A and B are shown apart, each in its own frame.
Chain A
Amino acid sequence: MSLRSHGAALAALAALASPLTPGACGVDDVDPPCRDQTCPPGQVCGADDACVSIAAPATLGDLGRHTSAALLSDGRMVVATYDSTHRDLVVMTDQVDSAATVQVVAGRVAEDGTIVDTDAGRWNDLVVDEDDVVHAVWFDGDGGTLRYGQRAASGGWTVEVVDGEGPSVRGTHASLAVRHGVVHAAYRDETARGLRYARRELDGTWATREVDGCAGEAGCPVEGGEDYGEYASITVIGQLPRVAFYDRARGDLKMATRAADGPWETTTLDGRDAASGADTGDVGRFVSLALTPERKPGLAYYDASQGALRYLLAGQAPLVVDDGVHYDEARGAWGSDPVGQHVQLRYDSNGRAVMLYLDAGNLAMKQAVVSGGQIVAVAAIDGFEAGGFIDFDFFGDDLLRGAYGPWIPGEAPRTRLARFLIPVSAR
Chain B
Amino acid sequence: MSRAWTALGLGAALLMSLAGGCGEVPWGNGGLGDELPADAFDTEGLVFVLGAEDLQTASSKLDRVVSEAWADGVPLTGRAGVVDLEGHEISVEWHAMRVELGAVKLALDDEGITLSVGVRVPTSELRVEGAQTVACSPTVSIDDAQLSLHATLGSDKSGRVQAALSETPSLRGEELDVDWSGCHDEVSAPAFDALSLLLWDALADNAAEVLGPELIAALPGALGLDVALGVATTTAVDEIGAGLVRVSVEARSSSSGGAWRVVQGRLVVPFAVGLGAEAHPCVPAAELPEITALTAPEITPGPRGATLVSASAIRRGLATLWLSGALCGDHATAERSLTVATLGPGWAPLAALPRATPLTLSLWPRALPDISLDAAPGEGELLVSTGPMDVDVFGELDGASVRLFSLSIDADVAVTLTVSAQGLLSSQVRDLTLRAGETRAGLLAPPDAAIADAVVTPLVRALLDDRQLLQLPPRAGPTRAEPRGDYLAIPQ
Known: A325-B240, A413-B353. A338 touches B401 (CB 8 A): yes
Is the Cβ of A328 less than 8 Å from the Cβ of B364?
Answer: yes
Checking B283, B364, B401 against A360 with a beta-carbon cut-off of 8 angstroms, the contacting residue is: B401
Is the Cβ of B239 less than 8 Å from the Cβ of A360?
Answer: no
Task: Tell whether B376 is near chain A: CB-to-CB under 8 Å.
Answer: no
Q: How far is the CA of A411 from the CA of B353 in the complex (A)?
A: 10
Is the Cβ of B402 less than 8 Å from the Cβ of A363?
Answer: yes
Q: How far is the CA of A303 from the CA of B399 in the complex (A)?
A: 14
- Which residue of the partner chain A has the closest CB to B438? A330
Task: Tell whether A306 is near chain B: CB-to-CB under 8 Å.
Answer: yes
Checking A285, A308, A412 against B397 with a beta-carbon cut-off of 8 angstroms, the contacting residue is: A412
Task: Tell whether A323 is near chain B: CB-to-CB under 8 Å.
Answer: yes
Known: A307-B239, A335-B364. A363 touches B400 (CB 8 A): no
List B contacts of A225 (CB < 8 A).
none
Checking B281, B352, B402 against A334 with a beta-carbon cut-off of 8 angstroms, the contacting residue is: B281
List A contacts of B240 (CB < 8 A).
325, 334-336
Known: A325-B240, A332-B284, A410-B445. A388 touches B364 (CB 8 A): no
Q: Chain B contact residues: over half helix, strand or loop, or mixed?
A: loop
Interface residues of B in 435-454 (CB under 8 A from A): 442-445
Checking B239, B352, B399 against A325 with a beta-carbon cut-off of 8 angstroms, the contacting residue is: B239
Task: Tell whether B392 is near chain A: CB-to-CB under 8 Å.
Answer: yes
Task: Tell whether B296 is near chain A: CB-to-CB under 8 Å.
Answer: no
Is the Cβ of A388 less than 8 Å from the Cβ of B282?
Answer: no
Known: A388-B400, A412-B352. A363 touches B284 (CB 8 A): no
Interface size on A, residues (CB 8 A): 37
Q: How far is the CA of A305 from the CA of B329 in the complex (A)?
A: 11
List B contacts of A334 (CB < 8 A).
240-241, 281-282
List A contacts of B443 (CB < 8 A).
363, 386, 407, 412
Which of A308, A331, A361 counts the most chain B CB atoms within 10 A? A331
List B contacts of A332 (CB < 8 A).
284-285
- Which residue of the partner chain B has the closest CB to A360? B402
Is the Cβ of B239 less than 8 Å from the Cβ of A308?
Answer: yes
Q: How far is the CA of A336 from the CA of B364 in the complex (A)?
A: 10
Is the Cβ of A342 less than 8 Å from the Cβ of B400?
Answer: yes
Q: How far is the CA of A147 from the CA of B383 in the complex (A)?
A: 60
List A contacts of B397 (CB < 8 A).
388, 407, 412-413
Which of A332, A336, A363, A412 counts the most chain B CB atoms within 10 A? A412
Is the Cβ of B398 less than 8 Å from the Cβ of A389?
Answer: yes
Chain B 390-423 per-residue mask, 1 if CB under 8 angstroms from chain A, else 0: 1010100111111100000000000000000000
List A contacts of B445 (CB < 8 A).
410
Q: How large is the interface on B (under 10, 10 to 19, 20 to 34, 35 or more residues)?
A: 20 to 34
Is the Cβ of A360 less than 8 Å from the Cβ of B403?
Answer: yes
Known: A307-B239, A342-B400. A331 touches B1 (CB 8 A): no
CB distance from B433 to the nearest CB of A (A): 23
Interface residues of A in 364-423 (CB under 8 A from B): 386, 388-389, 405, 407, 410-415
CB distance from B105 to the nearest CB of A (A): 48
Task: Tell whether A297 is near chain B: CB-to-CB under 8 Å.
Answer: no
List B contacts of A388 (CB < 8 A).
397-400
CB distance from A81 to the nearest CB of B (A): 13
Is the Cβ of B284 less than 8 Å from the Cβ of A358?
Answer: no
Task: Tell whether A117 is near chain B: CB-to-CB under 8 Å.
Answer: no
Is the Cβ of B403 less than 8 Å from the Cβ of A331?
Answer: no
Is the Cβ of A412 less than 8 Å from the Cβ of B399?
Answer: no
Task: Tell whether B238 is near chain A: CB-to-CB under 8 Å.
Answer: yes
Is the Cβ of B403 less than 8 Å from the Cβ of A363?
Answer: yes
Q: How far is the CA of A361 from the CA of B403 in the complex (A)?
A: 5
CB distance from B416 to the nearest CB of A (A): 31
Task: Tell whether A333 is near chain B: CB-to-CB under 8 Å.
Answer: yes
Q: How far is the CA of A379 from the CA of B1 in the complex (A)?
A: 26
CB distance from B239 to the nearest CB of A (A): 4
On A, residues with C-beta under 8 Å from B are 65, 285-286, 305-308, 320, 323-325, 328, 331-338, 341-342, 358, 360-361, 363, 386, 388-389, 405, 407, 410-415
On B, residues with C-beta under 8 Å from A are 1, 238-241, 281-285, 328-329, 349, 352-353, 364-366, 390, 392, 394, 397-403, 442-445
Given A336-B282, A342-B399, A360-B402; 11 other pairs, CB 8 A cutoff = A286-B400, A305-B1, A306-B238, A331-B364, A331-B366, A331-B390, A333-B281, A338-B394, A388-B397, A412-B443, A413-B352
> Top 8 A-B pairs ranked by shortest CB distance?
A341-B400, A306-B239, A332-B284, A334-B281, A323-B239, A412-B443, A360-B402, A333-B284
14 contacts between A and B (CB under 8 A): A323-B239, A324-B239, A328-B390, A333-B281, A334-B240, A335-B282, A336-B239, A336-B329, A358-B400, A360-B401, A411-B352, A412-B349, A412-B443, A413-B397
